[in-house]
Amino acid sequence: MKNLRVATAQFENRSGDKAHNLSVIRRLAGQAAAQGAQAVAFHECSVTGYTFARHLSREQMLDLAEPVPDGPSIAVLADIAREHDIAVLAGLFEKDTQDRLFKAYVCVDKNGLVAKYRKLHPFINPHLLPGNEYVVFDLCGWKCGILICYDNNIIENVRATALLGADLIFMPHVTMCTPSTRPGAGFVDPKLWKNREADPTSLRLEFDGMKGRAWLMKWLPTRAYDLWRQQDLPDRRTLGDEVITATCTPEKLQQSGGHRYRKARRPDLYGNIIAQPHQPEQKVVWLHPSSDDTTEE
């Protein structure tokens, strides 16, 4: 196993404007490749947009969603991968041949679709169905998995994906500055975003507080630590589009806490407890166009 250079990218997508979003993905994938990245990961629903879907009917969702891998967006992502010689990971709404709707995240390289994952715990729109399987795939000699946003809050999902062989788990999110029932959550005033160049401090306080980074840092680093020892990674601080790249090494895997923790497990003590029958609680409050209700994170 050789070192793997992975980039992550952020950008302000346009709701429902797949052509625009794909053009930004193309540009930022080029920047990632210029930084030496072999793969670049974008946020969930980066192709389609996300939060606006709380207002969409089933028919509108079907118009927005695409088949995977035969939809046009996968073809564009493959073209981007060929152009920049880089694997691209991005999210979109998917519909199958029976018009069932899912929130999907894909890995695409120059040859086309490498892997597809469906979010296990979807919300934002009541017509989305949950996925029913973990996904582990090969990327440049590394075994990789995918868990989208809320999937990572359920600790069993992370451990199960690692036990299936994943060395690296992509965890795309649109979890900050979105509506939620948790204390301190909510949208950022659009006026702060529009005025970010003149007053970046006020916007940064919103992003860094409980609407944003402070909440994420309460739990996500724990999941990362289960796979890797802590790394000195650059923090994304730009109030706009940005790409950062890091190097994953086999040595870091061997030195990580998660590597030791998996070896120290005692399933003889709790295997039957964890495997007890359980009816999952779909704790979701939907956002409707005529309501101020909020979704859970």
**Catalytic (active-site) positions:** 44, 119, 149
DSSP string, 55-115: G--HHHHHHH-B-TTTSHHHHHHHHHHHHHT-EEEEEEEEE-TT--EEEEEEEEETTEEEE
- The residues, ordered by sequence, that sit 6+ positions from 190 with a Cβ below 8 Å of its Cβ are none
Identify the bridge partners of residue 102 per DSSP, sorted by sequence position: 94
165: left (phi over 0), alpha (psi -120 to 50) or beta: left
How many Cβ atoms are within 10 Å of 284's Cβ, its own excluded? 16
The one-letter code for the residue type at 139 is L
